[in-house]
Structures are given as structure tokens and as C-alpha cells.
Amino acid sequence: MRRVLVVGAVLALAAAAAGVFFAMSRGSGEPAAATAATRKPVHPRVVAYVHHHGHTRAPTRAYGHPQTRYPTLSDGAHGASVLRLQQLLARRGYLPVTFHAFGPKPMYTISPRHGRFQWRFNAPSELRSQWQPGVFATVTRGAVMSLEADLGLATDGIAGRRVWQALTATKAFTKVPYTYALVRESSPETITI
């Protein structure tokens, strides 16, 4: 007897929901054909879900942002975006440091990873003073300009959308050897490359 009552209650709720849905769709006073023609098309699974359960469900989509917004970085910028830019540049060999990542990868490609930077060679103090993680300074600007030159872009030293896309691309890349020039304007002048 209890099973019959439960089935009856479920059927009554379904009929009431269908009645409410029907009344809402016809409530404007327009003929059903005109109402259906003016509505946006809905996925058949969603329509079936609406008719069966009496409420709508948002259509599903992939996780993450539908479109990544790349920050534009230049001299004086600092923070997490600059740190991630430096990590990607170091991975490709455009910086005098290497980046050793550890821990899980972040959900978004432009989020910084956990890890540490390490000098690739015994750098002179003049070069070391130009480098600081998370700060867009001379060494980072030079690395961005080198990447832009390799990509055939205008070498303005500003990390924009095209620079980010090149750095976050999943295709294989060739690591670039790091070069630098150190000029001492004393007497006598010297240049170290």
C-alpha cells in the first residue's frame, strides 16, 4: 500500500510540474506556434530534463576560463604574473637562471608554479644586481626582447598576448643558450660577452 501511495505522489508531482510548465509557456496569450518561434533553441537533453523534472539546468561547458586574458607586462611591473613570465622564460633558456618546479601544476597556465631559480653560471655582480624574481627589470626585458626577435615580433620588451601564447604553447621547443654583454665604462673600457 505504501508503494502505491509513493508512486501516486510522484505522478501527482510530475503532473503538477508539467501543468505549471505548460501554463508558463502559454501564459503570454500568444499562440503556441508564435511562442515556440520566438524562444531561443534549447538542447534536446535540456528540454527533456525540463519536461521530466519541471525545472531547467544550465548547459554544461568545459572547466576553466572560456578565454585566457594575458596580462601586458613591462618595466616596473611586479607580482605573480611577472614571476610566471620569468619561470616560462627561464624554462626556454632566455634568462641566466634556470627554474626548478616542484609540486602540482597550477590549474591555469599563467599562474606561477612553486619552485626555485638557480643561476646557470657564475655570474658577475653587475648581472646579478639586475635580476630579481617577480620584478620586471633589465634582465627580464632583455629576455622578452630576445624572444620577440626569435618570433619575428616588434622588439619592444613588452610581454603581451603573443609573447604569452608563444611561451605557454604546448608544442616542443628548442632551448636557447643564454648570452649577455657586460660593458665597463672605466678607463680602459672593456666589454665581456
Could you read off the pLDDT of 154-172 as tens digits, one per residue?
999 999 999 999 998 877 6
CA distance 187 to 62: 63
Structure confidence at residue 134 (pLDDT): 95
Query: 161-168 and 80-92 are packed helices; what angle lies between their axes, rounded to 10 degrees?
Result: 50
pLDDT of 59 higher than 60: no
Minimum mean pLDDT among 57-71, 79-93, 152-166: which range?
57-71
* Count of CB atoms situated within 10 Å of the CB of 21: 16
Cell numbers for 162: 603573443
Nearest to 99 by CA among 122, 72, 130, 120: 120
Question: Residue 20 pLDDT > 60, yes or no?
Answer: no
pLDDT tops 80 at residue 21? no
Cα distances from 90 to residues 99, 119, 125, 177, 179, in angstroms, run 6, 10, 19, 11, 13
Least confident of 53-57, 120-124, 145-149, 161-165: 53-57
Q: What percent of the chain shows pLDDT beyond 90?
A: 36
> What confidence score (pLDDT) does residue 61 get?
56
Annotated domain spans of the chain: 2-53, 80-192
Whole-structure pTM value: 0.60
d(CA 143, CA 176): 11
pLDDT at 29: 47
Q: What is the pLDDT at residue 110?
A: 85
Mean pLDDT of 22-44: 52
Structure confidence at residue 188 (pLDDT): 80
Q: How sure is the predictor about 86, in pLDDT bands with cuts at 50, 70 and 90?
A: very high
